[in-house]
Amino acid sequence: MNWNAWIPLLVVASSLLPGLIIFRLPEERVRTRITLNLIGAFLKLVLVGWMLWGVYQGQHFETRLALLPDLDLVLRAGPLSLIFVSLSTVLWLVTTVYAIGYLENSPHRSRFFGFFSLCVTATVGIALSGNLITFLIFYELLTLSTYPLIVHRGTEEARRAGQTYLAYTIFGGALLLLATVWLYTLTGSLEFTPRGFIHGLGEEHRTALIIIFALFITGFGVKAALVPLHGWLPQAMIAPAPVSALLHAVAVVKAGAFGIIRVVYDVFGIESAAELGVMSPLAWLAAVTIIYGSLRALFQNDLKRRLAFSTISQVSYITLGVAIAGPIATIGGVVHLVHQGIMKITLFFCAGNLAETLGIHKISEMNGVGHRMPWTMAAFTVGALGMIGVPPIAGFVSKWYLGLGALEVGEGWVMFVLAGSSLLNAAYFLPILHRIWFRKQTAAWPHEHNFGNKETAWALLLPPVVTALMALAAGLVASAPFSPLEWAQLIAQREFYQP
Amino acid sequence: MLTEYVSAVLLVAGAIFYLAGTIGLLRFPDVYTRLHALTKADNLGLGLIVIGLSLQASSFAAAGKLFLIWLLVLLAGASVSHLVARAALHKGVHLWKR
Amino acid sequence: MEALALLQDVFDILLGFGLLWLAWLALFSLDLFRSIVSFISFGLLMAIIWVRLDAPDVALAEAAIGAGLTGALFLAAFAKLQPASVNGKGSSINPQKQSSRKQLLRWLPALIMLWIASGLTIAILALPPHATGLTSEVTSNLTASGVSNPVTAVLLNFRGYDTLLEIVVLLLALLAVWSIGSSVPSIESEPGPVLDTLSRLLVPILIMVSAYLLWVGAHAPGGAFQAGAVLGAAGVLLVLSGWKLYPGLEGFPLRLVLTAGSITFVVIAILTMLVSGTFMQFPPAQASILILILEMVATLSIGVTLAALFIGSPPTDIKKL
Amino acid sequence: MNTVFLYALVGIGLFCLGLFALIVQAHLLRKILAINIMGSGVFLILVALARRTEGGIPDPVPHAMVITGIVVAVSATALALVMILKVTESSGQPEFPDEESK
Amino acid sequence: MGITFIDFPWAIALILLPLTGGLSCFLWPSVSKILGLVTVIGVMLSATGLGWLVIDKGVYHYLVGGWGAPLGIELYVDGLSLLMLMVTALVALGVSIYSIHYFELSYQRRFWPLWLFLLTALNALFLSADIFNLYVTLELMGLAAVALATLTGSHDAFTAAMRYLLATLLGSLAFLFGVVLLYHSFGSLDIAVLSERFESNITAWAAFGLISAGLVLKTALFPMHFWLPPAHANAPAPVSAVLSALVVKASFYILLRLWLEIFSQLDTDVDILFGFLGSIAIIWGSLQALRQTRIKLLVAYSTVAQVGYLFLAFPLAEKVGVTAWSAAVYLILSHALAKSAMFLAAGNLLRFGGHDRIADLDRVAQRLPITVAAFALAGVSIMGLPPSGGFISKWLLLQSALVQSQWGLVGVMLIGGVLAAAYIFKVLGRAFTQAPLPHEPGVVPATMEWAALLLAGGAILLGFFASEILAIIEIGSPFGAGEVKL
């Protein structure tokens, strides 16, 4: 019995099964639900840890189930998979704790946590997918399982946000399906392969390949919120804070970005893609998105909306790193997948805390809130500074590698994009920090909850503090073994230097 | 030979009665007179045809069956004519007057 | 002989055109009642044509079921429609109502019909003038079938499975009619002495005829369906003369009679399977008696079913549940 | 031989006449009449063509098929007529309501 | 009696069981529920037994009455018919479980015999290898279906069922006409014999035209779909489920069978016409579904659209036969399960709210979670999203189309999928929100909810067993052995 063949499947099942059970739990069985959630989350963490260790030592983890006569459902743990799967697993645990605190007395928690677990299942599945069809399956599952989370509040506004989200993602999904099937009819394979699997195709398929690439980018671009496909993201802010945190930091946008990474590296391969001449347009698209997102963020008064536009901008760093097509830029892009996730989830947790504890939704209401909620706001500050790229926080590492990578391959213009974006980041984050710490409270908090002498509930406070510390750590000890940077370097090595 | 000729004559006569009955059915002015025309054709025309055919019949059984048919048609025709007339009367169809 | 052949041709042509003319009357006559009567005449003419085509079995079935019972059904429906509908008579063609658009809506289908008709004509005329079909297969297996009338052999032995399903179709129609028709008014009539006498005279004869057709079906034209139809006609006559089923029989006994044909079919089919190993394979020695039993029960069921279809509304036993 | 094709052609005539009436006639009773006449047309073709055998005996299989067909037709007619009554009962007219597109 | 398990005549049981069941339900109406349920379970077991037999030993022949073709009637089961029988049994089971609590007592008595006769007709149809026998089963099926469709007793139901009756009778007649021409041209009613003797001539063309027209009318391919939406929408929920899931498929099955065995020998472009009409059906049906304000009508129009997909296989099969046909068969299976689940779920919503207006669903996601889950899962399959049977068939269809660069069809399929998502989420979106006028819910028994979920789950599960099922489809190679396979 080869256990390694089952572990990827178990990783997926460790959130799927609790999720399915939770659906059937009566609303009032809070304890059972929490236990199930936490058991699942911890189990997943252990399994992923095992895989990390194993892959580090050169073991193979692969689950293969027959799906169609010549196509299998493949779950495989490679370096690239693991970096995303670890991120999801860790952040799932944190978010679960947060969500338990956040939704303490709200209705339909069973449904919420059920879909929440499905959502994580889908994300982990995306991360572990060993071929495009598996990827596609989990990708669509993600679409479907996030929809109920977005409309969770059951208001008319939520419904409309949900419809918008679907309109975008279903459209994207259709394009992905087309691209996948088309590619399959050309190559007869969909297996993710380092450096791609399209080399064998002759020159006569060049146009088709370019169109397929465009279809892939458009399809994934919807979830990765590439301009002009980003419209759903700010609207989806209607969802409860843990959902926003998950959508923005891990699940949805990252799934899109991860898809782009997969397509460029493991489907087309950097060299083939560059040869097709599709990388520069991608880089430009990413650059435009970075600047556009930052600019829009500047003018939002609603905190969550500002964070949403910031996400649009930040996720495109990943795309940019990929599109620059050099080894160092790759490191920057991939590592940003993790770093942005940790930092952004911190920010969303904090925003959620503000809303839940004090009823604050608008930036203009945040004057002096640092004194009321020092720990939360400290975490927020770490996240915000990291986003701007202040050393030694994680964001700095990403930007550093991106810049270096661009210079390495002679794409100097990227430096301007990075600089401009950092400036804009500063422009929309620093005023907030100024308000938090240096202004006096001007009006009563809109809707204050009393948590005794604590600034807020433990379950709400702990997650952002933990993730903020992680963001700090990722920057401080960036070159420690098993750090995101180390893995990113491993991946880059595999993509560029191995035959 | 003779029976065949007799038979033919009877058949033609029957057909003529039928023709007369049909013309009556088509041309007479109201239900009651039409029924009058029809019953003649049924009773006599069919009777002549049955006799004509039974002259050619291969066995007595066959001839018997033909007569049975005639009887049944007589029975049915009479009853149905009665019913139709009665229904017409119930419905208030007036007798035709010149 | 030439003259006779010519006469026959003229006769055929007259019959054919008469049939088409009656069909036209049935479909397009202004008076709906006249249409229905034309349709019944159409069925009778059809029966004559079946005889001309050497299909006496079909002729019997047509006369009894096609013209007789179907006609009775139409007449009964027409009678029931009168109070229910605002304009029951001749509502279909109303010269004043026809606009030019409606004219177009008539001409277009007419042209399409002509096109279809010509296509089908070509297709039919392209058929070889001689073809044996399955005649030889039927003839050579006739002795093993248990009956000597080839049509009965096909119906009850060679393609008995079709016939089983067909009996079920008939029963199903009754179930459907009962399911739908529970609120449809039943026919009320005052029979009067003449009809009463007629039915008393005619019903025994009809039953006898039915039995005769059933018996003779083994070797000559006739069989369960024709016999059943005659029985059904007897039932219709009884209904019309105001006879009613004894209330105690309206429930399970009636249902048993209705299903008896299908049940017997199934039972015999299973028995044959146990004996010969194959579904509905009659052992040649017992085929004839098995088919007779089958036909007898089927006749009864068919007759009662047809009469019940004519009545339309379910017996009170079903209705009240 | 002519008889065979003569009646087959009459059958086609009946089929098309019935189809035409089915389309243009609004009264449901007539539509059912039309279906019956179409069916008779098909049966006529079936039996007429069965007489193309060389010997005197026509092919019995079509005859059996037509008997089956006649029984099926009467079943369908009975069902249809009851349904017409119900439609008429609720709409007051033995026709399809106009507003519904067909 | 030396009958071992494997020798047991499962095929005959598939016909006789529901037949006797129907008769018994008529005879003893007070216990019809139990009789019906036992029968359907028996049918399920028989279908399983037959499946075992066929998978084990290959194609199954049965000479009814021992005569054999061309004189007698033959039953024939290959992978295609086996799957149809199995999905019929499965849907029948779900629908029967559902019906236990759906109908009131007086309707139970009407429903069960009719429904079991319908099941008889379906089984007999899928088993038959004889075109006249197919006609009889078609009529049996049609009359039973129409009678069942009237069970709601509403004015709309009768009008709709009347249209349905006329359409189905006309379709059967055209089919019969074609059968007549085939018989008189080639002297047999057996499909295999006809296949051997078939040659292309004018009569064969006419037969093809008549049979196709009749079956297309019964399958409700655009523009012959006019009768379907009202009939399916106004029938009681379990009946709608059966009509959409199985009855429409039965006529398509005959068309497919005859096309494959007989008419493929004609050199025709009708496949392109089918593809064209199918494309319009997909777009038109989906748009109509999107316009509806009542769930059941929406679901019914969705059937019109999904039928369109089935016909896309015809033009695609020219070059990649096996793949395209497998896709169509897979679609039949997954749509049967998904659509029946969807209609049952719609029935629950109707019972729950007393209406089926989409705008007034009023938080049913909270209050009927299992029903909404069933609707959603079925919707996943209808949209063709993974993992589901619908996805597999869409994948195969897309693959066939892309291999041949049939861009038009590719576009239609993608647009159809997006539109399907639009109309399904039109319903699901309202399931979460509160209606302007909140109302007191009616009681929906658990069996009715779970029956829907069971079927929907089946549609999803189909997405995981594609290899096995595609292997079953090819038993007896109904699509021709020599064809190119992708």
* Residue pLDDT, tens place only, A281-315: 999 999 999 999 999 999 988 888 898 899 899 89
Half-sphere exposure (Cβ direction) of A268: Cα atoms closer than 13 Å: 31
Q: Is A172 on the interface with E (CB under 8 A)?
A: no
- In angstroms, the CA E51 to CA E57 distance is 10
Largest distance between two CA atoms of chain C: 70
Instruction: Spell out the domain ranges in chain A.
Output: 328-499
In E, residues 116-175, which contact D (CB 8 Å cutoff)?
132, 136, 139, 143, 146-147, 150, 155, 158-159, 161-163, 165-166, 169-170, 173
Question: How far does Cα A174 stand from its chain's mean position?
Answer: 22
Instruction: Please tell me which of the candidates E139, E158, E177 has its beta carbon nearest to residue D83.
Output: E158
Phi, psi values for residue A147, rounded to 5°: -55, -50
E308 close to E278: Cβ distance less than 8 angstroms:
yes
The verdict on residue B98 lying in a domain is no
Closest residue in E to D12 (Cα–Cα): E177
Using CB atoms within 10 A of its CB, is residue B94 exposed (0-12), middle (13-18) or buried (19+)? exposed
Using N-to-C axis directions, what is the helix angle for D60-91 and C135-145, rounded to 10°? 90
pLDDT, one tens digit for every residue, chain D (102 residues): 578 899 999 999 999 999 999 999 889 999 999 999 999 999 999 999 998 888 778 899 999 999 999 999 999 999 999 999 988 887 778 888 764 433
**If DSSP codes are grouped into helix, strand and coil, which group holds residue B97?**
coil
Q: Is E445 on the interface with A (CB under 8 A)?
A: no
pLDDT at D78: 94
Phi, psi values for residue A63, rounded to 5°: -110, 135
Using N-to-C axis directions, what is the helix angle for A30-56 and A79-102, rounded to 10°? 160
- Interface with C, mutate which of D14, D53, D82 (most C CBs under 10 A): D82
- In angstroms, the CA D74 to CA C64 distance is 11
The CA-atom distances, in angstroms, between E53 and each of A434, E5, E47, E79, E466 are 78, 9, 10, 11, 20
Pick D45 or A66 by higher pLDDT.
D45
The verdict on residue E210 lying in a domain is no
pLDDT at E486: 42
Instruction: Please tell me which of the candidates C46, C151, C225 has its beta carbon nearest to residue D40.
Output: C46
- In angstroms, the CA E200 to CA A216 distance is 47
pLDDT at E6: 64
A315-341 confidence digits (pLDDT tens): 999 999 888 888 888 888 888 988 999
Instruction: Give C189's pLDDT tier (boundaries 50, 70, 90).
Output: low
Contacts of C81 in chain D (CB under 8 A): 29, 84-85, 88, 94
The whole-angstrom distance between C42's CA and the closest CA on chain D is 9
Rounded to 5°, angle at Cα C190 from C184 and C193: 150
CB contact under 8 A, C129 and D52: yes
The whole-angstrom distance between B97's CA and the closest CA on chain C is 24
In C, residues 194-253, which contact D (CB 8 Å cutoff)?
223, 225
Identify the CA nearest to A282 among candidates A256, A320, A336.
A320
CB contact under 8 A, D71 and C166: yes
Q: Report chain C's mean pLDDT, rounded to a whole number.
A: 85
Q: Is the pLDDT of residue C265 over 90?
A: yes
Identify the CA nearest to E335 among candidates E365, E379, E376, E370.
E379
- The set of residues, in sequence order, having a beta carbon less than 8 Å from that of E332 and lying 6+ positions away, is E84, E87, E249, E252, E253, E310
The verdict on residue E479 lying in a domain is yes
Q: Taking residues C58-82, what's their average pLDDT?
A: 89
CB contact under 8 A, A108 and E366: yes
A315 close to A260: Cβ distance less than 8 angstroms:
no
A498 close to A87: Cβ distance less than 8 angstroms:
no
Q: What tokens appear for A231 in the block? A: 């419209």
The whole-angstrom distance between E222's CA and the closest CA on chain D is 12
Number of domain units in chain E: 1
Domain that holds residue B81: 2-91
pLDDT at C317: 57
Closest residue in D to E149 (Cα–Cα): D83
In C, residues 148-207, which contact E (CB 8 Å cutoff)?
157-162, 165-166, 168-169, 171-173, 175-176, 178-180
Contacts of A173 in chain E (CB under 8 A): 385
Contacts of E163 in chain D (CB under 8 A): 96, 102
Number of domain units in chain B: 1
pLDDT at C51: 92
Point out which residues pair with E77 in neighbouring strands: E60
- In angstroms, the CA B38 to CA B17 distance is 10
Low-confidence stretches of chain E (pLDDT beneath 50): 1-2, 481-486
CB contact under 8 A, B83 and C201: no
E50 close to E75: Cβ distance less than 8 angstroms:
no
Q: What tokens appear for A183 in the block? A: 């590619």
pLDDT at E176: 97
Instruction: Please tell me which of the candidates E373, E395, E433 has its beta carbon nearest to residue A156.
Output: E433
C5-24 confidence digits (pLDDT tens): 888 888 899 999 999 999 99
Q: How many CB pairs under 8 A join D and E?
A: 79
- In angstroms, the CA D76 to CA E9 distance is 32
pLDDT at B72: 84
A186-235 confidence digits (pLDDT tens): 988 899 988 888 887 878 888 999 999 999 999 999 999 898 898 888 88
CB contact under 8 A, C54 and D57: yes
Domain that holds residue E358: 293-486
Contacts of E161 in chain D (CB under 8 A): 83
C153-188 confidence digits (pLDDT tens): 999 999 999 999 999 999 999 999 999 876 666 666
Q: Is A204 on the interface with E (CB under 8 A)?
A: no
Q: Taking residues C65-77, what's their average pLDDT?
A: 89
In E, residues 115-174, which contact C (CB 8 Å cutoff)?
117, 120-121, 124, 132-133, 136-137, 139-140, 143-144, 146-147, 150-151
The verdict on residue B96 lying in a domain is no
Contacts of E212 in chain C (CB under 8 A): none
Q: Is the pLDDT of residue C316 over 80?
A: no
pLDDT at D101: 39
pLDDT at D100: 43
Give this prediction's pTM: 0.93
- In angstroms, the CA E94 to CA E348 distance is 14
Q: Is E188 on the interface with C (CB under 8 A)?
A: yes
Point out which residues pair with A65 in neighbouring strands: A73
- In angstroms, the CA A228 to CA A218 distance is 10
In C, residues 186-205, which contact B (CB 8 Å cutoff)?
192, 194-195, 197-198, 201-202, 205
- In angstroms, the CA E26 to CA E14 distance is 19
B64-91 confidence digits (pLDDT tens): 888 888 888 888 888 888 888 888 888 7
Using N-to-C axis directions, what is the helix angle for E105-127 and E79-102, rounded to 10°? 180
- In angstroms, the CA A257 to CA B46 distance is 96
What DSSP letter does each residue of A330-374 carry, written as one string?
A: HHHHHHHHHHHHHHHHHHHHHHHHIIIII---BGGG-TTHHHHSH
CB contact under 8 A, C55 and D63: yes
E73 close to C159: Cβ distance less than 8 angstroms:
yes
The verdict on residue E320 lying in a domain is yes
E432-457 confidence digits (pLDDT tens): 887 777 677 788 899 999 999 999 99
The CA-atom distances, in angstroms, between E419 and each of E282, E296, E309, E424 are 9, 17, 13, 9
Contacts of C195 in chain B (CB under 8 A): 79, 83
- Interface with B, mutate which of C44, C60, C78, C194 (most B CBs under 10 A): C194
Q: Taking residues C245-254, what's their average pLDDT?
A: 82
Q: Taking residues C61-88, what's their average pLDDT?
A: 80
Instruction: Please tell me which of the candidates E143, E159, E180 has its beta carbon nearest to residue D87.
Output: E159
E138 close to E175: Cβ distance less than 8 angstroms:
yes
- In angstroms, the CA A25 to CA A109 distance is 10
Q: CB pairs under 8 A, 24+ apart, for C40-44?
A: C40/C67, C40/C68, C40/C71, C40/C74, C41/C67, C42/C67, C42/D37, C42/D40, C43/C67, C43/C68, C43/C70, C43/C71, C43/D40
CB contact under 8 A, D35 and E136: no
CB contact under 8 A, C198 and B76: yes
CB contact under 8 A, E184 and D83: no
Q: Taking residues A435-459, what's their average pLDDT?
A: 80
- The set of residues, in sequence order, having a beta carbon less than 8 Å from that of B33 and lying 6+ positions away, is B24, B96
Question: How far does Cα E167 stand from its chain's mean position?
Answer: 17
Predicted complex ipTM: 0.90
Residue ranges of domains in chain D, CATH in brackets: 2-91 (1.10.287)
Q: How many CB pairs under 8 A join C and E?
A: 140
